[in-house]
Amino acid sequence: MSKGELLYALLLIPADGYKEDTGHKFERVSVFEGSLLVDLDSFTAKRKQKRYDSFTHKVDTGHHPEIYLSPTDSSVYIVTKSQRDWLLGIQPPHCRLEVLKKLNLVESLKIGSRVYVTIPTIPDPVKGVVRYIGVVRGIEGTQFGIELLERKGEGTHDGHFKGHKYFKCDKDCAVFVA
């Protein structure tokens, strides 16, 4: 890890965390398995403030309130920034661990890879091809733009989403999946 690079972790089991209230006291809160954490040793701005010295991680929510905790080493799994970006799109958070197990396979996917996707409105997995990998406006985490090779016309778009073109295919022959 280079200097200034954040270190991320996935919480494997539920834990107690603490958030600072308006009176600068800490209130106990539950942190759920699958929550993404930032290692505070790499989060130097907060480590300089003495009141955070008893914590080792901050919950990676992307917004306030900030929640801090000190999980045991065996209750977290260190993830890379790209893995963290993939996992952010997985909801609910407790499903992230299962996805993490498959992440090495997912990280090997590239544009043109043949895949099977599960679509809520279709009972069986559908064959498709990866046409886009990256951030999509309005959706958190890394997304895959999949052109459906089967069940054409049962997708949700044509590669355009919220006024932005990510790839091109026939109308209702594509989906985005995390």
Specify the pLDDT at position 139.
Answer: 84
Specify the pLDDT at position 129.
Answer: 96
The predicted model scores a pTM of 0.53
pLDDT digits (tens, 9 = 90+) for 123-177: 899 999 999 999 898 888 788 999 999 988 899 999 998 899 999 999 999 999 8
pLDDT digits (tens, 9 = 90+) for 71-112: 877 788 888 888 888 888 888 888 888 888 777 666 778 899
- Residue 55: pLDDT band (50, 70, 90) is low
What secondary structure, in 3-state letters, does the chain show? CCCCCCCEEEECCCEEEEEECCCCCEEEEEECCCCEEEECCCCHHHHCCHHHCCCCEEECCCCCCCEEECCCHHHEEEECHHHHHHHHCCCCHHHHHHHHHHHHHHHCCCCCCEEEECCCCCCCCEEEEEEEEEEECCEEEEEEEEEECCCCCCCCECCEECCEECCCCCCCCEEEEC
CA end-to-end distance (rounded Å), the chain? 26
